[in-house]
Amino acid sequence: MKNKAILVVSFGTSYEETRQKNIVSLELDIAKRFSKYRIYSAYTSSIVRKILMKRNIQMDDVPTAMGKMAKDGIWEVIVQPTHLLYGIEYEKLKNQIIDASQKFKKVKLGRPLLSDIYSLKKVISIISHEIKPEKGTAILLMGHGTSHFSNIVYPALDYISKAEGYDHIFIGTVEGYPDLQIVISQIKKSGFKKVLLTPLMLVAGEHAVNDMASDEDDSWKTVLQKQGLQVTCMIKGLGEYQGIRDIYFSHISEAIDKD
């Protein structure tokens, strides 16, 4: 019997296609890569869990998942979040783990995706190799953004993209800094007339479909078009890129090796 487990924690999404392509598929890959560990999953969004429950899809929150692991005889737990930042959700997760840690001999917490300079450089490199727009086209990555101080990752990622020679890659956020208007000014100042718009999020869910790519007046696509830019949307979550998954794998391996 396996007495070690990996708990994969995601915010979650109610968009089933992208949930399968990004979260479920990532969990299956983790199970293959770390075959000595039992795999459990949890979603931190109560809204998403309620929507899925109506479809007869049961997803646990973190305390429930950890309670199940304890009942299953697990004594060592690696908790790997699929979150991008050390933000509000990560802090909540950390506190929940502390509360449940007495149930196990060992509980180790992995890092989020964008957690150090190496990871930021790696993500930009992966995107530049995976997305090949026609010449003269800017890539605009739409991040969520946050009021948490961890939002500094987004402007840092934009800076790194330019420092690494990817002058055609720009980063903006829906609820943080830099916002869309700032990014539009940067794109136009750089002389780009065409934009490939794609999410900087694990899943291409609500924000990608509606806030980014819809025909609503306030969607990013529409706002960019009103500014005279030609826009192409690519609705694809970060979890679909193998290179991104590899970063999560490395964070799990690092957590396993912790004393």
Q: Residues forming the annotated binding site for Co(2+)?
A: 144, 175, 207
Side chain identity at residue 249, one-letter code: F
Q: Among all chains, which residue has been given the structure tokens 């900087």?
A: 200
Structure tokens given for 89: 């959700």
Question: Cβ distance 61 to 69 under 8 Å?
Answer: no
Residues catalogued as catalytic: 144
Rounded Cα–Cα distance for residues 141 and 173 (Å)? 8
Q: Could you give the C-alpha distances from 106 to 4, 99, 127, in angstroms and in order?
A: 9, 13, 35
φ, ψ dihedrals at 60, nearest 5°: -85, 155
Strand order of the sheet with strand 137-143? 169-173, 137-143, 194-199, 230-233
Residue 245 to residues 82, 103, 136: CA-CA distances in angstroms? 10, 29, 29
Residues at the annotated binding site? 144, 175, 207
Distance CA 16, CA 29 (A): 18
Q: Where does the chain show beta strands of DSSP type E?
A: 4-10, 38-43, 76-81, 106-109, 137-143, 169-173, 194-199, 230-233
* SS3 of residue 105 by DSSP: coil
Determine how β-strand 194-199 pairs with β-strand 137-143.
parallel
